[in-house]
Amino acid sequence: MNHHSDPLLSFQTHLQTQSIQASVLGLHYTGSQLEQSQSLELADGACLNLGGGRVQLQLQAKDLSPSSIALDLKFSVVEGSCQDIALGLQLHFEQWSEKDWVFLPACVYAGNRFPIYEAYGKPIPHSPEPDPHNWVQLSNAPHLTHGPGPSRFQVLTGDCATPCVGIYSPGFQRGFLLMTDQGTTQGDHALELIESEDRRSARLILKSPGVREGGKYNYPGPLADRPMNLEPGAVFHLRLELHSFPAHSPEDLYAGFLRVRKHLAPQRDRAELPFRSAFQLIEDKHNRESWVEPEGYWSVGMRESSSQNFQTGWVGGPNTIWPLLISGDATSFHRALRAWDFICGSATPSGFVRSCYHQGSWQDHGDRPCYLRYSADTLYFLMKTLLHLRVGPPHVEPRPNWLSLARGLADAFVKVWHEAGHLPHYVHPQTGAVYLGGSCAAALAPAGLALAARFF
């Protein structure tokens, strides 16, 4: 047979040179508990007996390049009905290594194969000194296991900036990309990677709808993920692209991703909204729905939880105050000044600030450690504010509590740097002693310190 006349066969032959086998996958669930898994060779006409019915695959393949292919998987119910199922594609990497670099845009880098501390519902570990052999450590996040034991992550396409899994293989000196679209009317797809315990093989799975088994990576409770029901004659489509190309580093993998990342993105008409009009909409919303009296602050959301009420950085707080101060109307300007008064109440004896305010109190009260992302953001935007108000218009004299907060934060960061030699993740709120080291949480602090040096 002439492989060039059959795009799928030609691409499968190419994959086999890298010890990758492709198969069509059918899954049957009870709730989110997997009850049955069936895989067959990826071929037109393949039939899966699943969930009380029978599904047949009609496969269309199109060459994109000698080592890239676009696939349209059309599943049709040809017998009975299929209840509580998911359908998809499985790629079996028969020559795998812990050195293989796994990438999901804005979600997973290097497989997130780092030491993990289980943060959800558990005390924060006391670990002041970073491990020089494992500088990076993560709280609960999608990750492959660092060390022995089962190794698996499962995410929804909505967890990624682009629905994609990329793999750089140092052994084969190749980059590999699985690209898909966001999802279907049944919901987001799921992307899953499972390593064997000896790390010599792995399975990459694309399934739809996305059903995460055993809970979310940072939440052990029940999820809304549900399989689908397909009635007699129903049709279900799944689109994807597979790309293979030479790669000698993770940077080559990223370059390959950037070349194709928009292939399956929906094409939308572009409707321009002037920035000033957009700002006006956001400002009106904040002053109408987010301003909180009598404390005097803009909430992140509608105050249904502590994270949606007030935060001293990250997604709200000073990050919101700054643009409303410099570009808002007179109401926003004066409210921005009041909001800084409110933030001053978050300072701890160490000089660092608390994080979330909800239902009349700061949620991390007492001796709960200070997370330095909040303090770094607060210092940076406070110094920008003080420098701006010094010049104006309008010129505003700094209030003593603002200066006290600024000096306290700057001194606290300098102190912890001199004592620990790095900017940590958590510190003790009373003393500033490092509670958990090895972090990029306070990455904005050097910029805040540079502005403080200019101001003071």
Summarize pLDDT for 245-272 with one digit per residue, the tens. Answer: 999 999 999 999 999 999 998 877 777 8
Q: What is the pTM of this model?
A: 0.83
Summarize pLDDT for 306-353 with one digit per residue, the tens. Answer: 889 999 998 889 999 999 999 999 999 999 999 999 999 999 999 999
Asked if residue 399 and residue 250 are part of one domain, the reply reads no
pLDDT at residue 397 in the model: 96
Residue 157 belongs to what domain range? 3-260
Sign of CA dihedral 147, 152, 157, 158: negative
pLDDT at residue 237 in the model: 96
Summarize pLDDT for 108-123 with one digit per residue, the tens. Answer: 999 999 887 765 555 6
What are the beta bridge partners of residue 156?
A: 190
- Residue 444 vs residue 216, higher pLDDT: 444
Contact in structure between 351 and 412 (CB atoms under 8 Å): yes
What is the distance between the alpha carbons of residues 126 and 130, in angstroms, rounded to a whole number?
11
Asked if residue 397 and residue 313 are part of one domain, the reply reads yes
* Residue 344 is assigned to a structural domain of this protein: yes
Which residue in this structure is represented by tokens 């997973």? 108
Amino acid at 211: V
Is 80 exceeded by the pLDDT of residue 196? yes
Share of the chain above pLDDT 90, in %: 81
Choosing from 219, 237, 260, the residue where a domain stops is 260
What is the distance between the alpha carbons of residues 451 and 194, in angstroms, rounded to a whole number?
47
* Structural tokens at position 231: 């009635």
Is 70 exceeded by the pLDDT of residue 4? no
pLDDT band at 1 (very low <50, low <70, confident <90, very high): very low
pLDDT at residue 217 in the model: 81
* Residue 11 is assigned to a structural domain of this protein: yes
CATH number, domain of 395, equals: 1.50.10.10
pLDDT at residue 341 in the model: 98
Choosing from 231, 260, 289, the residue where a domain stops is 260
* Residue 265 is assigned to a structural domain of this protein: no
Asked if residue 218 and residue 316 are part of one domain, the reply reads no
* Residue 270 is assigned to a structural domain of this protein: no
Q: Domain count of the chain?
A: 2
Q: How many CA atoms lie within 13 A of 412 on its CB side?
A: 32
